[in-house]
Amino acid sequence: MSFTESDTVEQMILDAATSLGSGAGSSVLREDPPAGWGGSLGEEFMPSRWIYVAATALPRQPGEVMVEPWVREALISLNPEIAEQPDRADEVIYALRAILLSVQGDGLVRANENFMAWLRGEKTMPFGPNGEHVAVRLVDFTQPAKNRLTVTNQWTYQTGSVVKRFDVVFLVNGLPLVIGEAKTPTRSAVTWFDGAYQVNEIYEKEVPAMFVPN
């Protein structure tokens, strides 16, 4: 019997990540606490769950960095001003897309810094009364269970003629925040260094947009 990266290290990561949850789907920003919770400790302590979704089942195209339908749902759920006019979510997604594209001219570090400001809720949009600027939230940091936490594997990303496949990707509200490269444990000549080199020297240079959000 032969062992591969996908059925050893990769599967172990997926199993560990989803050990607190069950099922193969993800409800949108679920409101109901886990069975037996009762809300006695408050929503800020409600357990979060990573849900596995196959890469082929994600509502995205190979050339898209974000799972945009999920980003849009999160924006509407987490921002009352956007919920009032859901089309405002598209304005935010447009701004995020612009940052992803800017990596070609500004470089990965600058693009990552700009995207991080959005993730931290530091960016504002004129969505308040009389065009007042209000902070936009992409992630709920105070109540983690309000977020859609998804883990997937064999994520394919394509830009032009370049196609790369990532072993494990963790997404929060449709944003790929963690990318993992698995290496076989059965070959002593292959180590974590090979995975790090592949990510840093190959993936980041050939498909930098995938690394802007993480």
Contact 144, 49 (CB under 8 A): no
Indicate whether 108 belongs to any domain.
yes
Domain range for 61: 9-23+46-211
Indicate whether 39 belongs to any domain.
no
pLDDT at 35: 54
Indicate whether 86 belongs to any domain.
yes
Tally the domains of the chain.
Answer: 1
How many residues in the chain? Answer: 214
pLDDT at 108: 95
Q: Quote the CA–CA distance of 192 and 50 in Å, as a whole number.
A: 24
Q: Quote the CA–CA distance of 184 and 190 in Å, as a whole number.
A: 7
Q: Quote the CA–CA distance of 166 and 6 in Å, as a whole number.
A: 11
pLDDT at 184: 55
Indicate whether 61 belongs to any domain.
yes
Among 22, 59, 58, 25, smallest CA distance to 154 is for 58
Helices 68-78 and 88-106: crossing angle, nearest 10°? Answer: 130
pLDDT at 182: 75
Indicate whether 193 belongs to any domain.
yes
E strands in the chain: 51-52, 124-125, 134-135, 149-159, 162-172, 175-180
- Segments of the chain with pLDDT less than 70: 1-8, 20-47, 183-201
Indicate whether 71 belongs to any domain.
yes
Collapsed DSSP state (helix, strand, coil) of residue 181: coil
pLDDT at 34: 53
CA contacts within 13 A on the Cβ side of 167: 20
pLDDT at 2: 47
Indicate whether 36 belongs to any domain.
no
pTM value is 0.81
Indicate whether 161 belongs to any domain.
yes
